[in-house]
Structure 1
Amino acid sequence: MNKFYPRAGENKLSISHPEIAAVRPKFFAAALLNFVLYILLFFCLFCYLYGSLFQQIPRTHNVHILWIDYDGGIIGDAVRTAYSSLQSNQFPALIEKAVSQFPTPGDLREAICRSHYWAALYTSPGASVNLAQAIAGSNTSVYNTSDVLTFIWNEAKYPTSMDGIISTNLHTLSDAARISYIALNGTSAFLTIPPNNSAAISVFTNPWTLTAINIKPTIQGTRAVYNTISFVLVLIEDFFFLATLNGLYVQFKIFLKISPGRIIIVRDFISLTFTMVSALVNSAAIWAFKANWNVTGGQWALTWLTLWLYAHANFLIFDTFTIWIPLQFVSMALVTWIVVNITSIVFPFSVMSPFYRWGYALPTHAAYEILTDIWSGGCNPHLSYALPVLFAYEVVGLILTSIGAYKRCHNAVIVDETTKEAMRLQVEAALKAERRRSSLAGQESHEKRARRTHTGESSHTTEDAGTLDQSNDATEDEEDLEELEDVDTRIERMRSRASALSNIGPAFRLIGSDD
């Protein structure tokens, strides 16, 4: 490598050099401390993430499905029998209610829209009678196998996980109910089948097909990242733009030159504009790849506004991190914030440990609840807490970053004064040392001339004088050295203080700003 970087080895100290030996313990102590901190941090984050996924299947019974038997016949009995055989912690809980509480399927849809249940299963009125007549061959031409057992659900809510928990399990229940129906009524029903009536036989072997009423079908491939990578990218985008903005303020010494009030206004304007445009293109990307997802332009506009509020709230949160958290811990705060926020929306809280429900207070969960409500046409009315959560982060973030602008301006003035004072002390020390050297040189020259003039004096007297002069010079040199060391210590302390106060978080140089 010396061929490419020939000066890489110049002026390097040996491993046994006193200067290296002095810093070696501090270096390895700091390296070990950071080693331990990062290992522990990421171990805790992995445990937090994996804990949200741990034992989800045994918590499936926390997903409640409303069950109404509008038929009141043998089909409802078959469903109850099938559920009793499937009922377990690994199967959604079927909650049966009286018909009087939900008189029509429209009431069931309303219950799903209000998020009282994850889904609703019901039998159609007169389904058992119609099935018996079809098996007997009296109405096989008009019998509809899809108008027997139906469930209502909203696929827009956690589509990748709800497909398996709700749709798959309810189809399993429907299949088990058909078997139960044969067991309960098979013999008597079979005896009513007219000879050579293939339609009646077909109805007997396949009495119904489970029908799904999906409030918002969400089957496009991009749905898999709506509650994962999409939000991660928004958070990363905010953080890196903040670092770039900080670099701009450092490069042009904005905090030293501009008043705090003006900085607050301009900085908020820049962040609002950036997050507005980023949310615009992010929502446009969702719509560009929505495939056959049936969403409207009005829903796109609301999606854009929600992502804008979410992005700006997180920008303020990250700015607050860089203001009030020491620089060495900002990266830890960033990765922790991303992991806990994304964990709050990967799966519904119903199948997670109750501990994770503190995630209701996180902005990412609030934003996803709002987006689900928008995408499903109002069938997720959690705006009463989701919007206040987002606005709370926005308001608190604006307050803390505004105070932070005053703090940064205050620190910038102190840093500038400290830097100038350190430079002044360094120059004075250098001038004083130079004057001392000039004075000693002049004094030595004068003494030599004096000794040459008094050549008649004894050699013993001359030796004593020379010894005394050397002693005085040594004392003066020691005093000068101590004074220089004291000045160097003061300068180093001032520089350390200035370095600590000048840290405003991660800061990148702007592209095209290398003047």
Structure 2
Amino acid sequence: MAIPKPFLTGVIGAAVSLQLLILANMSYLYGTAYRDGSRFSTMKMLYVDYDGGVVGQSVTVAYDQMRGPGFPSLHEHSQEEYPTRQDIQEAVCKGDYWGAIYSGRDASSRLAGALFSSETAEAYDNSQALGYVYSSTKYPAYSQIVSSDLIQLAQAAAGVYKQTNLTTTLSAINISDPYVAQTLLDPISFTPTDISPMNQGVRFYYNTVSMVMPIIIQFFFIMAMNGISMQNNMFDTFSARRNTILRFIISICYTFIAALVMTGYIWAFREHWAVSSGQFALTWMAIWLAMHVHFLLIDFATAVIPMPFVPFFVLTWIILNVSSTIGPFELSPGFYRIGYVFPAHSLYEILLQIWTDGCNPHLYRALPILWCEWIVGVVLFVVGMGLRTKASFKTLLSKEKSEA
């Protein structure tokens, strides 16, 4: 028995369409990180020299040796602009810089004193020579890179100091003294400051997998609700207005519970992450708003897109949203800044604002975008429900005519 030609055509068409869809979506996703190593110089780091001596100069020389497209750019500012370490932390907190490094006050004179005095060397703390500041909460995978680069810069500065200063003073140093010898071997170290610590293992999921779930669970629930509504003839029994109100109420309740569940498992695996009950509530509300936006948009899509192609839309919607949160826009080609319009990006920006106690001041942009999308989603939702009811009514009329 011959295989029907329409069957073969349909199967081949579906296979080709799916492969093209996957190719397009994954090309877009992979493009976010394509050659991102050549764009690390777009990530800015602050440097303030409180020392004004050879230790502070060593940082500048070390950066000149490491400067390149694969290393964050170092921007030096004066003590007058950043009088205290708190000012440096505030600059990183505001998002002006990904991190900062600074030399300790009188670091050079304290180090010189330790090299020529056993008593001073005994009390010398090399970790006070340099310090660096970063935030491990902001894009955890990339904040680790920033921290690593700051450590490399501090270590390189120590190497520069040894090469340029110790060789000229070695003959005058009493290397038989154990404290002086220890200072000679390790003259410069650093003190790290993480302004918003986030060390739990699941932190890498917050801007990746966790951005998928708010979309997936809306799609599954909408598909289930559509099937249940058709089985119970809801579109034939109730008016368009009543169906719309009922479905809208259900959407609010469902996303409210789903957001609570998502917030719950984030908190359940927080380990030693220091977050409060107030941050729990704010996280819950932020996730709820994003989930409801996804619900409204996907519900409209299922009303206007033929059912065989709805999964194509949902997959594309997932990839577009995840691509907007998987990494900072500084490291992606400029085209990817279109990601500002996707709900997932706004949600992640709001969550960073909540989790860092305000150290990601983009709420002024993210929240209005999300609310505007919610308003658009409500309008589209109403339009979609009208189309559903109209289509159901036409189906009912044609069925009655055929039976007559």
Q: TM-score, normalised by structure 1?
A: 0.76
Give the 5 Å matches for 1:39-188.
39-137=19-117, 139-163=120-144, 165-188=145-168
What is the rounded CA distance, in whole Å, between the counterparts of 1:195 and 1:60 in structure 2? 41
Alignment partner, residue 224 of structure 1: 204
SS of 2:324's equivalent?
helix
Contact 2:259 2:284 in 1 (8 A): yes
Q: How many residues align?
A: 403
Alignment partner, residue 437 of structure 1: none
Alignment partner, residue 37 of structure 1: 17
Contact 1:320 1:401 in 2 (8 A): yes
Contact 2:103 2:130 in 1 (8 A): yes
What is the rounded CA distance, in whole Å, between the counterparts of 2:308 and 2:112 in structure 1? 75
What is the rounded CA distance, in whole Å, between the counterparts of 1:113 and 1:58 in structure 2? 25
What is the rounded CA distance, in whole Å, between the counterparts of 1:368 and 1:86 in structure 2? 32
Structure 1, residues 185-217: CA drift from partner, whole Å, max 9, x if none?
113443443463211221121112221110111
The equivalent position to 1:196 in structure 2, one of 176, 184, 189, is: 176
Alignment partner, residue 226 of structure 2: 246
SS of 1:150's equivalent?
strand
The equivalent position to 2:388 in structure 1, one of 388, 408, 414, is: 408
SS of 1:338's equivalent?
helix
The equivalent position to 2:187 in structure 1, one of 204, 207, 210, is: 207
What is the rounded CA distance, in whole Å, between the counterparts of 2:334 and 2:172 in structure 1? 53
The equivalent position to 2:242 in structure 1, one of 253, 258, 262, is: 262
Amino acid at match of 1:54: Y
The equivalent position to 2:251 in structure 1, one of 257, 271, 277, is: 271
Alignment partner, residue 471 of structure 1: none
Identity of aligned residues (%): 35
Amino acid at match of 2:90: E
What is the rounded CA distance, in whole Å, between the counterparts of 1:337 and 1:263 in structure 2? 26
Alignment partner, residue 276 of structure 2: 296
Alignment partner, residue 324 of structure 2: 344
What is the rounded CA distance, in whole Å, between the counterparts of 1:266 and 1:136 in structure 2? 82
Higher relative contact order, chain-length normalized (CA < 8 Å, sep 6+): 2
Structure 1, residues 70-115: CA drift from partner, whole Å, max 9, x if none?
1111011111111111111111111112222222222111111111
The equivalent position to 1:387 in structure 2, one of 343, 367, 374, is: 367
What is the rounded CA distance, in whole Å, between the counterparts of 1:98 and 1:370 in structure 2? 32
Give the 5 Å matches for 1:362-441.
362-424=342-404
What is the rounded CA distance, in whole Å, between the counterparts of 1:397 and 1:45 in structure 2? 23
Amino acid at match of 1:201: A
What is the rounded CA distance, in whole Å, between the counterparts of 1:215 and 1:189 in structure 2? 38
> 1:397 offset after TM fit, Å?
0.8
What is the rounded CA distance, in whole Å, between the counterparts of 1:308 and 1:301 in structure 2? 11
What is the rounded CA distance, in whole Å, between the counterparts of 1:229 and 1:195 in structure 2? 55
Alignment partner, residue 335 of structure 1: 315
What is the rounded CA distance, in whole Å, between the counterparts of 1:189 and 1:214 in structure 2? 36
Amino acid at match of 1:261: R
What is the rounded CA distance, in whole Å, between the counterparts of 1:313 and 1:205 in structure 2? 59
Contact 1:135 1:192 in 2 (8 A): no
Contact 2:94 2:361 in 1 (8 A): yes
What is the rounded CA distance, in whole Å, between the counterparts of 1:386 and 1:221 in structure 2? 26
Structure 1, residues 328-375: CA drift from partner, whole Å, max 9, x if none?
321110000111111111121122222211111111011011111111
What is the rounded CA distance, in whole Å, between the counterparts of 2:46 and 2:294 in structure 1? 38
> 1:286 offset after TM fit, Å?
1.0
Q: TM-score, normalised by structure 2?
A: 0.96
Amino acid at match of 1:376: T
What is the rounded CA distance, in whole Å, between the counterparts of 1:210 and 1:136 in structure 2? 22
Amino acid at match of 1:90: G
What is the rounded CA distance, in whole Å, between the counterparts of 2:15 and 2:174 in structure 1? 80
Structure 1: tracts of 5 or more residues without a match: 1-13, 425-515
Contact 1:66 1:121 in 2 (8 A): yes
Contact 2:300 2:385 in 1 (8 A): no
Of stretches 271-280 and 94-103 in structure 1, the one that deviates more from structure 2 is 94-103
Of stretches 47-56 and 378-387 in structure 1, the one that deviates more from structure 2 is 47-56
Amino acid at match of 1:422: S
SS of 1:96's equivalent?
strand
Q: Select the structure of larger CA radius of gyration.
A: 1
SS of 2:325's equivalent?
helix
> 1:35 offset after TM fit, Å?
2.6
Contact 1:156 1:217 in 2 (8 A): yes
Structure 2: tracts of 5 or more residues without a match: none
Alignment partner, residue 446 of structure 1: none
What is the rounded CA distance, in whole Å, between the counterparts of 1:175 and 1:79 in structure 2? 9
Cα–Cα, structure 1 residues 195 and 208, in superposed 2: closer, same or farther, change >3 Å? closer
The equivalent position to 1:311 in structure 2, one of 285, 291, 296, is: 291
Contact 2:158 2:189 in 1 (8 A): no
What is the rounded CA distance, in whole Å, between the counterparts of 1:388 and 1:319 in structure 2? 22
What is the rounded CA distance, in whole Å, between the counterparts of 1:254 and 1:285 in structure 2? 34
